[in-house]
Structure 1
Amino acid sequence: MSTAMEASDGHADPGSYPLPRGPRVNLGCGPVMPRDWINVDGSRRAWLVAHAGGLDRRLVRLGLLRATAFQKGIVHHDLRKPLPWARDSLAAIYSGEVWEHFEYEDARRLTEECYRVLRKGGVLRLCVPDGVEFWENYLVMFLEEQAREPASRDVARLRRHVRMYFDDICTRPPGLKSFGHFHKWQYDEVQLVDLFMRCGFKDVSRQAFGVSRIPDIGALERSNFLIVEGVKP
């Protein structure tokens, strides 16, 4: 795939890339459900809305459930299983803050599935928390506290940052607080670009928030974290 559609800084030119025709899929959509996209989520609440919407609404009226952002048309799917689309059938796939919730090998298999179902020229775009930023922030805090006299150091701020890692990021075996809500891997640009390339994608690069080969990415993207995009050749 030619890189002629990219700007001089290496980022995709959003106004010129010829995205192929076909459905576009928003994997792990959560409350972000733009029109003209197939919105997919694997949560129990998404299952209830997808398969028993009337029951969901009754439970909300009775005060047994809170109102949900999931709407009629939500597709429930366990992303650990093969994607429910034919080979070479989709134009684009976006996923925001989802890949980090899988063990690395599960994420690799899911990336391969995205490659399978995308058409030639189709685009995969992922947004995940940036591990480099996490540890850079820790290092800044560490150096600030190290420069102070021991008696005046705020050790608690370092402990809070480390605790965040073990509470929200550190891998947990299945069954031990591992229901998809905790991070099971920490990515950086090198790892994520490599994952794309290992699964067959070309023209893989980090992209800026809101800058994409996918023309209406602003309808989906909510986080300015580590964003990587690649093309199926």
Structure 2
Amino acid sequence: MTKRPAFPGWDWDDPDGLAVRLDEFSEQVAGCEKLEPIATELPHDRDDFLELGLTGIEFAAFRTAHPAGLGTDLAVLRSTDRTAASEPGTLYRVDGDRCFTQLDISQPLPFADASVDWVYAEHLIEHVTMPVAVDWLSEARRVLRPGGVLRITTPDLARYLNGYVNRDGFLTRHRRRLSTMGFGPPMPERRAFLVNQIFRYYGHQWIYDLDELRYVLTRAGFAAEDIRACGYREGVRPDVADLDTPFRTDETIYVEADVPTTTG
């Protein structure tokens, strides 16, 4: 008897077909046990956030790990029994202990200036074009209070290109790491494929190195001297840095940008 493949229809050499598979996968993970609407209006200013016990925003998170964070995502979040689904403009309680709202980062954020202490986004910026990224980062800076911090993580282009040119083993290790985690069948071993997939797959639009991140952050209004590279779970706010997940630490660059406490 022939054993059924673990990933039927998954073809790494068919980007368009795989995009459909990945969309299906994303829809499957956009779920929670319990989704309760708690307000038909979103928190707007600093006082609104504090009244809800919220101090910051985590983008691309259905259920933020930060107890004082507001999780957001573009995709619809559904309860596992399919009796509840998120809608833009409504605030929800997820599984009884986290807040969530559905947001599109290509649109202005519906929050007042200086309303939160921190903003976090893990592996999000690469999914939008550069103009959208700049506009979103500008909005993130606007809603941060003086002394606030933005922390973003994204695949590091330098690691991929260094791995390709220098044959330092990164591409082989990363391929093996993804296979071990069960994210699809093993990727092809071809070096060119392993570089191309970071540009072509997962809905990626633009891949960054540190200089490119500095460029978009300064265009968004952050001062060059307030931007820095960090390590995994290392940063000015341990509670925010601890949101880093171990899933793809090997390929990730971690960057923070501060809003100064004073200007001029």
SS in 1 for 2:81: helix
Q: Aligned AA for 1:28?
A: A
With structure 2 as the length reference, what TM-score do the two structures score? 0.59
Matched, 1:79 2:105: yes
CA spacing shift, 1:33–1:84, aligned 2, 3 Å: farther
CA spacing shift, 1:158–1:93, aligned 2, 3 Å: same
Q: When the two structures are aligned, how many residues end up with a matched partner?
A: 172
Q: Distance in 2 between matches of 1:187 and 1:166?
A: 10
With structure 1 as the length reference, what TM-score do the two structures score? 0.66
132-141 or 96-105, which moves further after superposition? 132-141
Q: Distance in 1 between matches of 2:95 and 2:242?
A: 16
CA spacing shift, 1:110–1:164, aligned 2, 3 Å: same
Q: Distance in 2 between matches of 1:129 and 1:106?
A: 18
CA spacing shift, 1:107–1:140, aligned 2, 3 Å: same
8 A contact 1:125–1:227 mirrored in 2:
yes
Shift of 1:32: 4.3
- Structure 1 counterpart of 2:222: 201
- Structure 1 counterpart of 2:6: none
8 A contact 2:156–2:208 mirrored in 1:
yes
8 A contact 2:64–2:70 mirrored in 1:
no
Q: Aligned AA for 2:190?
A: R
SS in 1 for 2:135: helix
CA RMSD of aligned residues (A): 2.6
8 A contact 1:128–1:226 mirrored in 2:
yes
Q: Distance in 1 between matches of 2:192 and 2:218?
A: 36
Deviations 1:157-199 (A, max 9, x none): 224324424532xxxxxxxxxxxx4110010001102222222
Bigger share in strand: 2
Pairing of 1:38-49 with structure 2 (within 5 A): 38-44=70-76, 46=77, 49=78
Q: Which runs of 5+ in 1 are unaligned?
A: 1-20, 50-55, 61-69, 144-154, 169-180
Match 1:117 to one of 132, 143, 158: 143
Q: Distance in 2 between matches of 1:192 and 1:163?
A: 20
Relative contact order higher in (CA < 8 Å, ≥ 6 apart) = 1
Q: Which runs of 5+ in 2 are unaligned?
A: 1-49, 84-93, 170-187
Matched, 1:212 2:221: no
